[in-house]
Structure 1
Amino acid sequence: MADDKQGRDEQADDEERRQRERELEEARTRGDEAEPMRDDPGGRLGDLDDALQTHDYPATTDELVEAHGDYEIETQDGEESLEEVLAATENQTYDSANDVRSRLLGLIHR
């Protein structure tokens, strides 16, 4: 191609077309992948996030399950109750809502 305005415009048009083709191919390739979880902890924990914030601390796993065990949490496989998520863990003491939130998010990312 000649190094003139028309040649540069054609190069730019070709690059835009190739970029669109790459994006379409990537979308086709990723079409079967599971949708990633949201980055917002409040979104994954739903109403439980607010309940944890107002809970009195320190609190044990058993106390949290007794008070909030029915709350649903978004996991990689769908939704599970707080009780189901914490069922495999030992009873431990949490000093704050942030401690509980960190533990839950760690458990649902396994």
Structure 2
Amino acid sequence: MADDKQGRDEQADDEKRRQREWMQEEARTRSDEEEPMRVDPSERLGDLDEALKSHDYPATTTELVEAYSEYELETQGGKKSLEDVLSATDDQIYDSAEDVHRRILGLIGR
């Protein structure tokens, strides 16, 4: 191909076509895979998300378990109470709802 505007345009068009074909093939290949767990963290924590946002910080693991132990979380292994999820950790101090959020998501994502 000549190194001119038309040649470069044709190369770009070919690349776009190859990319589109690759994406279509990838979609066909993945069509039989199981759906992953919901990605939106607030959906995975449900009502607990709002409760954690309204909690006073800093807070310890023990305080959070005492306040919210009845909340159930969707994990890869099924539903578990917040108490069950956090019982695997040492007593920690959380400075914000986001800190707790990250810790919980790390624990239930295993």
**Which TM-score tier does this pair reach, normalised by the shorter chain?**
0.7 to 0.9
Residue type matched to 1:60 in 2?
A: T
Q: Which residue of 2 aligns with 1:75?
A: 75
Tell me, in whole angstroms, the C-alpha distance in 1 between the residues paired with 2:45 and 2:97: 12
* Secondary structure of the structure 1 residue equivalent to 2:74: strand
TM-score (norm 2): 0.72
- 1:2-48 CA-to-partner distances (Å, cap 9, x unmatched) read xxxxxxxxxxxxxx9xx5x87555423x2xx3x31112111000100
Residue type matched to 1:27 in 2?
A: S
* Secondary structure of the structure 1 residue equivalent to 2:31: helix
- 1:66-86 CA-to-partner distances (Å, cap 9, x unmatched) read 000110111111211100000
Q: Structure 2 vs 1, CA of residues 23 and 60 (structure 1 numbering), >3 Å: closer, same or farther?
A: closer
Matches within 5 A, 1:39-54: 39-54=39-54
Residue type matched to 1:64 in 2?
A: L
Q: Which residue of 2 aligns with 1:89?
A: 89
How many aligned positions are there?
Answer: 90
TM-score (norm 1): 0.72
2:10 is equivalent to residue 27 of structure 1: no
Q: Which residue of 2 aligns with 1:64?
A: 64
Tell me, in whole angstroms, the C-alpha distance in 1 between the residues paired with 2:48 and 2:26: 41
Tell me, in whole angstroms, the C-alpha distance in 2 between the residues paired with 1:22 and 1:91: 44
Runs of 4 or more above 3 Å deviation:
21-26
User: What are the ranges of 5 or more consecutive residues in structure 1 without an aligned counterpart?
Assistant: 1-15
